[in-house]
Amino acid sequence: MRLILVMLFLLLYFIVSIPIFGIEWIIGKINPHARDISSLRIVQFGFKGILFFSGTKTMVIGFENIPKDKPVLFVGNHKSFYDVVISYSMMPNLTGFVAKKEIEKVPLLRTWMRFVYCLFLDRDNLKEGLKTIMQGIEYIKRGISIVIFPEGTRNTFEDGMLPFKEGSLKFAEKSGCLIIPMVQNNTGECLEKHMPWIRKTHTVIEFCEPVDIKLLDKEDKKHVAAYVQKIMEGVYEKNKALV
C-alpha cells in the first residue's frame, strides 16, 4: 500500500513539475537567487511527501552543528535511496549533491537536480570526473553546500561502511570548507531490505561536529577520508541502540 501511495505521489509531483519548470525558468531570469531557493524548497517538498507516504520517522541529532552562514561538505554513509531523501529534506541552505552520471538520463528528475546544483559524476572517466570536482569546488566558493557519499555506491549488504574513496573529499580539501560528517542508521529498512515494498521505519540521522582540515595533524591531512570515516563509524555504532 505504501509503495502505491509513494508512486502516485511521485506521478502527480512530476506532472505538476512540467509547468513549474517554466515558472522557475522565468523567476531565474528575474532573480536567480529567488529561483535557487524556490527550487530547493520544491524539491524538499517532494522528498517530505515521499517520507510522509512511506511512514518514515527520523530522529535528528546535532542539527545545530550545521553552520547557517557558510557552505560545507556533507559526508554521508549510504545504505539506501532514502539516505538522500531524508538528509536533503533537512538542508537549511542551498545544497547540491553528487550523483552517479546515469541519473542525468532520467527526464524531469534531472531538471530538478540541475536547478538545485547537483553534480553528475562519471566514475569511469577521469577527465570528466575532475571537471565535476572543479565544478563542485566552484559551487562551494559561491556559497552552495555539497553532499557526497564517499563509499561510492549504496552499501546494502554490509553492516558497517565500505572504505571511503580518498579523492572523494577533494571538494573540502581544495575549497577549504568545513566537513560535516552525516551518519544515518536503519535507512535500509525503508526499502532495500525488502524490495520492492516500502515499510514504515524509524531512522536516525546525526550531523556530527564540523571537521576543519586545516586543524588536522600532518598524517590525518594525508588521509582525510579515513579520518572522517573513523568518526562516522563510531557514531554509527553508538546510534544502533536508538533504532
Is residue 27 situated within a structural domain? Answer: no
Is residue 31 situated within a structural domain? Answer: no
- Helix 2-30 with 32-54: angle, nearest 10 deg: 170
Is residue 23 situated within a structural domain? Answer: no
E strand or H helix at 58, and its extent? strand 56-61
Is residue 41 situated within a structural domain? Answer: no
Share of the chain above pLDDT 90, in %: 81
Is residue 16 situated within a structural domain? Answer: no
Instruction: Using the structure block, give the residue that is written with the C-alpha cell 572522517.
Output: 228
Under the banding of pLDDT at 50, 70 and 90, the label for residue 158 is: low
CA dist., res. 187 & res. 190, Å (int): 6
What average pLDDT score do residues 136-144 get? 96
Is residue 81 situated within a structural domain? Answer: yes
Is residue 3 situated within a structural domain? Answer: no
* Residue whose C-alpha is closest to residue 79's, from 186, 202, 167: 186
Is residue 40 situated within a structural domain? Answer: no
Under the banding of pLDDT at 50, 70 and 90, the label for residue 157 is: low
Find the domain containing 98 and state its range.
56-242
Instruction: Using the structure block, give the residue that is written with the C-alpha cell 530538478.
Output: 112
Cα angle: 106, vertex 111, 112; to 5 degrees: 110
CATH number of the domain encompassing residue 199: 3.40.1130.10
pTM score: 0.93
What average pLDDT score do residues 208-212 get? 97
Counting the structural domains of the chain, the total is 1
Instruction: Using the structure block, give the residue that is written with the C-alpha cell 566537513.
Output: 179
Give me the amino acid identity at 8. Answer: L
